[in-house]
Amino acid sequence: MANQIGNHSPQTLLIITLISLLSISKSFHETGAQETGKALIESTCKKTEYPEECISALESDPSSFKANLTGLTRIAVQKSESKLVETLNIVTNYVLNSTDYLTWGFLVFCRDSYNASVPQIQEGLQAFDKLEFEKSYRGVEAVNKAVVACDKQGLKMLSQVNSLLFRITKDAMTILDLLF
């Protein structure tokens, strides 16, 4: 019995080769710098642990739709920063409202760790613009570690905001990883 390849004429083989080359070049373009918009947001976020949070964070910034992978990554770092500041404000409000001494102590711990990670993520953004992606990664990672530390305090009123900040920073770290 003749094998499959042996049965094809040279013309057929040429056509098969051309089709393969075309599809390779097509997928190269799709994953490359030229892909932008919703498709790039989705394909990038699909590589993260929390794609839904990733997509909604990126899509909340209209410039995501015309950004390439580098642009999207910067937006992911920016979103980590704005979500951190938002969370810090929420925690600060709880600190001011707290009537129970023990809870107040845990809240102050969280406020201080979030506050301390603000300059770190800001340095991370500056590093990004100098194309120092590993340094930028460490800035986002600092926020992610602050969430983990705060979450250990077991404050129920923070579990939702903490969870979202954890996910957004984790996804930003994954996307940053794609750049280096």
3-state secondary structure at position 43:
helix
Nearer to ligand NAG, 138 or 170 (CB): 138
DSSP category for residue 37: S
Nearer to ligand NAG, 112 or 177 (CB): 112
Q: How far is CA 102 from CA 95, 98, 109, 173, in A?
A: 11, 9, 11, 33
Nearer to ligand NAG, 37 or 119 (CB): 119
Query: Least distance from C-beta 26 to ligand NAG, angstroms?
Result: 18
Query: Least distance from C-beta 118 to ligand NAG, angstroms?
Result: 6
CA 53 to chain centre: 9
Q: How far is CA 96 from CA 105, 134, 138, 147, in A?
A: 11, 37, 31, 20
Query: Least distance from C-beta 34 to ligand NAG, angstroms?
Result: 8
Helix axis angle, 133-151 to 159-177, nearest 10°: 160
Query: Least distance from C-beta 113 to ligand NAG, angstroms?
Result: 10
Contact residues toward ligand NAG (CB under 6 A) are 33, 68, 70-71, 93-94, 97, 112, 115, 118-119
Nearer to ligand NAG, 82 or 115 (CB): 115
Nearer to ligand NAG, 97 or 160 (CB): 97
What is the Cβ-side half-sphere exposure of residue 39, based on CA atoms within 13 angstroms?
8
Query: Least distance from C-beta 108 to ligand NAG, angstroms?
Result: 9
By C-alpha distance, which of 25, 42, 122 is closest to 77?
122
